[in-house]
Amino acid sequence: MTAGGAIDPEAIDAMLGNTGGDPAFVAEILGDYLDDTVIRLEELRGAVANGDATAARRAAHTVKGSSASFGASLLSSLAAQAEHLSQRSDLASIAELLPALSTELERVRIALHAEHTRLLGTGS
């Protein structure tokens, strides 16, 4: 694990192997994932503010799935909790989770930067 376990390098290595061994492609998709996750967490925050449980569930579900694919297991787990809470329309509890999600996103960002360097030998 890197950056205190925010990202599992084995998941990135598996991704590299499964997609043809092209580090540039994996580095690019790591960036895509980070950009998309930032947007989804903003959507989650907005959905909580607007009292929209359906939008909250959709955003949390996406973060859960994609974070699991990229080995960001804690972020995925927090998003799964948010998704579960949204199914009960418990937006207040999701609001309490948002700081933890933001903190974990920052840890993931740092870990992705390290992965990017490992893959390409340069920072993102």
Partner 1 sequence: MTGAGNILAVEDNPVNLKLLIRTLEQQGYAVCPATNGRDALDILCGRHPRSFDIVLLDIEMPVMNGYEVLQAIKENPGLRELPVVMISAVNEMESVVRCIQMGAADYLHKPFNAELLRARISASLASKRLRDLELEYLEQVHRLTTAATGLEAGSYELGVLDPVTERTDELGALARVFRSMAREVRIREERLIAQVQELRIEIDEQRQTQQVAEITESDFYKRISAEAEALRQIVES
- Nearest Cα residue to 108 out of 66, 64, 83, 74: 74
Inter-residue contact 27 to 116 (CB < 8 Å): yes
Nearer to partner 1, 18 or 92 (CB): 18
Binding flags for partner 1, 1-30, as an x/- string (CB under 8 A): ----------x--xx-xxxx----x---x-
- Pick one of 7, 47, 56, 62: the residue that binds partner 1 (CB under 8 A): 62
How far apart are the C-alpha atoms of 47 and 72, rounded to whole Å? Answer: 23
- Pick one of 45, 61, 109, 118: the residue that binds partner 1 (CB under 8 A): 61
Inter-residue contact 112 to 30 (CB < 8 Å): yes
Nearer to partner 1, 92 or 112 (CB): 112
